[in-house]
């Protein structure tokens, strides 16, 4: 597939490798939303990949497609070498167990009628056999909750941060290799956000997990990631080592994001067109060209492929 | 700039009556806003910043569900001494409000033009439409004439928020209260809306109270910033002084807990332990004391907000301006 390219993929042992992932949703009257249009990425053991982008860029759809929730329209998702797309129901359930998701709204992610102890035990219970009390207690302690206090509580008796801790404990009890976090801190307060980010970071280091961290906040993504993939309208703009994000980002969209951080210097010329094009009829060529200050005729005709600029830094743009 | 305040808030408390008993969402807050000033109010959820904004606006008044005490004086008018009709007059001409979610602030079955013109009095239909077009142009909406005939769902989130701002400006208010105006918007759009508010403040001389949970949104735009914690003001200072040298331990901790783009990846964040207090049973004395690393026995009595060269803070153990307590 023409477009996003694969130069940023690495050879050798990879926990997760995703190639040419396409996610499309029919919206009636023959129309289709192109949420993700042929992106590829991979994840090394113990690595954190940050996916950065605004609403509608396909970052959540990409994360969910990796989980096969729902399975992608096309493309390949390999977990430890096992192809997940096209697996049968029971084989898929077996493999998918190694990946767990942390969602944006922790309160909505928990069944309001169940107690914390049952919520955390739910995963293993589904897999046959309720875990014993000591395992649940250890899991709660590992995420900074006092088991005696929260044991019999229901989600509405907990704060948002505590609910997110319960979600993390629940995910970890299944002993996953990959944690997919979809905006895990964006509904939390600033002071609680730091607690959860530190918890995710220490957990990842302690258990040697690989992580996909999806968020719209540049500083948050930079803080937790080793590598950052910037998405726009279903395509990859740039793949950059997170240390180089602030200083060396090249793609005009990444630079627009950096200039939009609220405490960035004011007074840059605003882009002419600030509207996101419809994902039902994305622009030809480069999808960012309708808002890009550098766009030329070439950008409308030909889609830029990802190419390497420096080691580990890849950009899809004709003009930089 | 004229030094006499446009807005004076004096010992304002908003007590909300709930089935669990009354609690003070805003507890004895005092501050002033000067004409043409950008005044930031920062706080986490539950800190009372939105209730404060709405009480200042006069949207929340004493009644069966809440008790408001203290004073809000806007341009010589005591907002809480007004009748309901008086408050409506005030909203039409003196103060405008911008809400967090532009999708729910607009009526989905009314066209944009109707939203803008319905508050206008004493104008012919064509004059009102011309004025509406002017307002849309003022807030940077392209093709204003065409937009007047569109419904809210035909506009993007950022455009809708511009419309909400245009409505708030229709009566040429001297004060605009913006409650989390960019929280529901994408980062690139957020910057545009903040730039727009800054431009309106500079060009029209409108004073703006900018309420946000996001320190970065307020930094660099507000002239002065108030930090709220559990219904009270923790600190109130010129923005530059507050961000460069916070005196209240809560402000210091809050600034340290935010990840920064300039820091290397995987830098550990200095989280604030614990959670904000339950407002139905707040701790006695300083409300931040249970989470504060400098807390002592003295913190069992409530610290007063004291000013030190225009930098006010409510703390028994202020962080020194050189660093450390």
Higher per-residue confidence, B278 vs B294:
B294
Contacts of B313 (CB under 8 A, 6+ apart): B234, B235, B236, B237, B247, B248, B305, B306
**Across the interface, do A257 and B254 touch by the CB < 8 Å criterion?**
no
Whether residue B110 lies inside any domain: the answer is no
**Across the interface, do B261 and A261 touch by the CB < 8 Å criterion?**
yes
Number of other residues whose CB lies within 10 A of the CB of residue B109: 9
In this predicted structure, what is the pLDDT of residue B19?
86
pLDDT digits (tens, 9 = 90+) for A140-152: 999 999 999 899 9
Report yes or no: A104 at the B interface, CB cutoff 8 Å.
no
pLDDT at residue A13 tops 60? yes
Q: What is the CA radius of gyration of chain A?
A: 20
Chain B residues closer than 8 Å to A206 by CB = none
Report yes or no: A272 at the B interface, CB cutoff 8 Å.
no
Whether residue B241 lies inside any domain: the answer is yes
Closest residue of chain B to A245, computed from CA coordinates: B261
pLDDT digits (tens, 9 = 90+) for B12-61: 999 999 888 888 999 999 999 999 999 999 998 889 999 999 999 999 99
**Across the interface, do B191 and A224 touch by the CB < 8 Å criterion?**
no
**Across the interface, do A262 and B214 touch by the CB < 8 Å criterion?**
yes
pLDDT digits (tens, 9 = 90+) for A120-134: 998 888 887 788 899
Report yes or no: A228 at the B interface, CB cutoff 8 Å.
no
Distances from the Cα of A51 to the Cαs of A48, A102, B116, B237, in angstroms?
10, 14, 40, 37
Which residues form the domain of B18?
1-37+46-83+214-262+269-277+302-325
**Across the interface, do B258 and A194 touch by the CB < 8 Å criterion?**
yes
**What H or E segment, with its residue span, contains residue B104?**
helix B102-105
Report yes or no: A225 at the B interface, CB cutoff 8 Å.
yes
Average of per-residue pLDDT values in chain B: 91
Q: What is the CA radius of gyration of chain B?
A: 21
pLDDT at residue B159 tops 70? yes
Whether residue B322 lies inside any domain: the answer is yes
What are the DSSP E strand ranges found in chain A?
16-26, 32-43, 48-52, 74-79, 82-83, 99-102, 178-182, 210-215, 227-232, 235-241, 307-310, 313-315
Chain A 234-263, residues with CB within 8 Å of chain B CB atoms: 242-243, 245-246, 256-263
Average of per-residue pLDDT values in chain A: 90
Chain A residues closer than 8 Å to B213 by CB = 189-190
Higher per-residue confidence, A158 vs A1:
A158
pLDDT digits (tens, 9 = 90+) for B66-87: 999 999 999 999 999 999 999 9
Q: Are strands A307-310 and A313-315 parallel, antiparallel or unpaired?
A: antiparallel
pLDDT digits (tens, 9 = 90+) for B167-207: 999 989 999 999 999 888 888 888 889 999 999 999 999 99
What's the CA gap between A49 and A238, in Å, rounded?
A: 13
pLDDT band at B2 (very low <50, low <70, confident <90, very high): low
Candidate from A93-97, A161-165, A218-222, A312-316 with smallest mean pLDDT: A93-97
**What H or E segment, with its residue span, contains residue B73?**
strand B66-74
CB pairs under 8 A between A and B: 115
The closest CB to that of B265, out of A159, A242, A275, belongs to: A242
In whole angstroms, what separates CA A107 from the centre of its chain? 19
**Across the interface, do A54 and B188 touch by the CB < 8 Å criterion?**
yes
Chain A residues closer than 8 Å to B272 by CB = 191, 194-195
Q: Provide, rounded to the nearest whole percent, the portion of chain B with pLDDT above 70.
A: 98
- Chain B nearest CA to A82, separation (Å): 30
Torsion sign, CA atoms B93, B97, B103, B107: negative
Whether residue B8 lies inside any domain: the answer is yes
Chain A residues closer than 8 Å to B159 by CB = 275
**Across the interface, do B266 and A266 touch by the CB < 8 Å criterion?**
no
In this predicted structure, what is the pLDDT of residue A265?
62
Burial A91-124 (b: 16+ CB within 10 A, else e): ebeebbebbbbbbbbbbebbeeeebbbbbbbbbb
Sheet holding B66-74, edge to edge: B21-33, B7-18, B66-74, B77-78
Closest residue of chain A to B253, computed from CA coordinates: A191
Whether residue B224 lies inside any domain: the answer is yes
- Residue B83, exposed/middle/buried by CB under 10 A (0-12, 13-18, 19+)? exposed
> SS3 for A27?
coil
Phi, psi of B164 (to 5 degrees): -60, -40
With vertex at residue B101, the alpha carbon angle to CA B100 and CA B105, rounded to the nearest 5 degrees, is 105
pLDDT digits (tens, 9 = 90+) for A272-309: 566 778 888 899 999 999 989 899 999 999 999 999 99
pLDDT band at B122 (very low <50, low <70, confident <90, very high): confident
Chain B residues closer than 8 Å to A256 by CB = 188
pLDDT digits (tens, 9 = 90+) for A208-261: 999 999 999 999 999 999 999 999 999 999 999 999 998 899 999 999 999 888
Sheet holding A32-43, edge to edge: A32-43, A16-26, A74-79, A82-83
pLDDT at residue A270 tops 90? no
Report yes or no: A193 at the B interface, CB cutoff 8 Å.
yes
> Which residue ranges form the domains of chain A, and what is each CATH number?
1-86+217-262+279-320 (3.40.50.300)
Closest residue of chain A to B47, computed from CA coordinates: A189
ipTM above 0.85, yes or no: no
pLDDT band at A187 (very low <50, low <70, confident <90, very high): confident
In this predicted structure, what is the pLDDT of residue B323?
45
Chain B residues closer than 8 Å to A218 by CB = 187, 261
**Across the interface, do B44 and A190 touch by the CB < 8 Å criterion?**
yes
pLDDT band at B321 (very low <50, low <70, confident <90, very high): low
Instruction: Give the count of domains, chain B.
Output: 1
Closest residue of chain A to B262, computed from CA coordinates: A246
Sheet holding B224-229, edge to edge: B95-98, B175-179, B207-212, B38-42, B224-229, B232-238, B311-313, B306-308
Whether residue B155 lies inside any domain: the answer is no
**What H or E segment, with its residue span, contains residue B219?**
none
pLDDT band at B119 (very low <50, low <70, confident <90, very high): confident
In this predicted structure, what is the pLDDT of residue A2?
39
Chain B residues closer than 8 Å to A54 by CB = 186-188
What's the CA gap between A38 and A49, in Å, rounded?
A: 18
Q: Provide, rounded to the nearest whole percent, the portion of chain B with pLDDT above 90.
A: 71
Using beta carbons and an 8 Å cutoff, which residues of B are at the interface with A?
Answer: 44-45, 156, 158-159, 186-192, 194-195, 198, 213-217, 219-221, 253-254, 257-273, 275-276
pLDDT band at A266 (very low <50, low <70, confident <90, very high): low
| Average pLDDT, integer, range A201-205 | 93
In this predicted structure, what is the pLDDT of residue A1?
38
In this predicted structure, what is the pLDDT of residue B50?
92
Whether residue B135 lies inside any domain: the answer is no
Contacts of A202 (CB under 8 A, 6+ apart): none
Candidate from A158-172, A176-190, A266-280 with smallest mean pLDDT: A266-280
**Across the interface, do B187 and A257 touch by the CB < 8 Å criterion?**
yes
| Average pLDDT, integer, range A42-46 | 94
CATH of residue B52's domain is 3.40.50.300
Whether residue B78 lies inside any domain: the answer is yes
Q: Which two tokens stand for residue B230?
A: 């559990």
The closest alpha carbon to B245, from B311, B306, B295, belongs to: B311
């Amino acid at each position: 597939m023409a477009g996003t390219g694969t130069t940023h993929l690495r050879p050798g042992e990879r926990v997760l490798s995703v190639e040419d992932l396409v996610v499309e949703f029919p919206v009636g009257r023959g129309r289709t939303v192109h949420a993700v249009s042929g992106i590829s990425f991979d994840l090394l053991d113990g690595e954190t990949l940050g996916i950065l982008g605004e609403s509608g860029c396909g970052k959540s759809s990409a994360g969910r497609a990796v989980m096969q929730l729902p399975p992608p329209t096309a493309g390949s998702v390999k977990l430890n070498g096992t192809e997940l797309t096209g697996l049968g129901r029971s084989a898929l359930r077996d493999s998918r167990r190694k990946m767990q998701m942390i969602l944006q709204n922790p309160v909505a992610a928990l069944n309001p009628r169940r107690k914390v102890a049952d919520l955390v035990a739910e995963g293993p219970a589904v897999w046959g056999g309720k875990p014993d009390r000591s395992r649940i207690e250890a899991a709660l302690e590992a995420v900074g909750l006092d088991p005696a206090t929260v044991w019999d509580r229901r989600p509405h008796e907990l704060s948002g941060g505590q609910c997110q801790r319960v979600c993390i404990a629940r995910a970890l009890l299944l002993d996953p290799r990959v944690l997919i976090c979809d905006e895990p801190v964006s509904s939390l307060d600033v002071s609680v956000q730091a607690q959860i980010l530190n918890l995710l970071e220490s957990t990842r280091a302690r258990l040697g997990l690989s992580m996909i961290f999806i968020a719209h906040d540049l500083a948050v993504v930079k803080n937790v990631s080793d590598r950052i993939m910037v998405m726009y309208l279903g395509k990859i703009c740039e793949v950059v080592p997170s240390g180089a994000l602030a200083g060396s980002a090249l793609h005009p969209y990444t630079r627009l994001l950096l200039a939009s951080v609220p405490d960035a210097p004011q007074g840059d010329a605003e882009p002419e067109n600030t509207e996101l094009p419809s994902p039902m009829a994305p622009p030809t060529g480069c999808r960012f060209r309708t808002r890009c200050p550098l766009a030329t005729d070439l950008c409308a005709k030909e889609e830029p492929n990802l190419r390497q600029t420096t080691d580990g830094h890849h950009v899809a743009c004709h003009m930089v | 700039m004229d030094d006499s305040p446009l807005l004076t808030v004096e010992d304002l408390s908003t007590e909300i009556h709930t089935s669990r008993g009354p609690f003070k969402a805003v507890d004895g807050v005092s501050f002033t806003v000067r004409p043409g000033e950008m005044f930031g109010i920062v706080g986490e959820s539950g800190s009372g910043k939105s209730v404060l904004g709405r009480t200042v606006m006069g949207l929340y008044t004493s009644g069966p569900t809440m008790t408001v005490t203290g004073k809000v004086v806007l341009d010589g008018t005591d907002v809480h001494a007004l009748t309901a009709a008086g408050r409506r007059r005030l909203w039409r001409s003196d103060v405008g409000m911008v809400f967090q979610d532009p999708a729910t602030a607009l009526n989905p079955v009314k066209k944009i033009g109707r939203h803008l013109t319905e508050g206008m009095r004493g104008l012919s239909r064509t004059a009102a439409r011309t004025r509406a077009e002017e307002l849309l142009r003022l807030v940077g909406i392209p093709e204003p004439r065409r937009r007047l005939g569109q419904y809210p769902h035909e506009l993007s989130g950022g455009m809708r928020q511009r419309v909400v701002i245009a409505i708030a400006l229709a009566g040429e208010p001297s004060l605009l209260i913006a409650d989390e105006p960019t929280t529901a918007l994408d980062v690139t759009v957020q910057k545009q809306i903040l730039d727009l508010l800054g431009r309106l403040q500079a060009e029209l001389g409108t004073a703006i109270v900018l309420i946000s949970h996001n320190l970065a949104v307020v930094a660099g735009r507000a002239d002065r910033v108030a930090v709220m914690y559990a219904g009270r003001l923790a600190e109130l200072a010129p923005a530059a002084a507050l961000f460069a040298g916070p005196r209240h331990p809560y402000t210091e901790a809050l600034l340290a807990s935010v990840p920064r783009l300039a820091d290397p990846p995987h830098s550990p964040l200095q989280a604030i332990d614990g959670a904000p207090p339950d407002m139905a049973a707040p701790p006695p004395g300083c409300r931040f004391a249970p989470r504060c690393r400098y807390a002592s026995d003295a913190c069992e009595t409530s610290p007063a907000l004291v000013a030190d060269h225009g930098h006010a803070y409510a703390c028994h153990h202020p962080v020194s301006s050189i660093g450390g307590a």
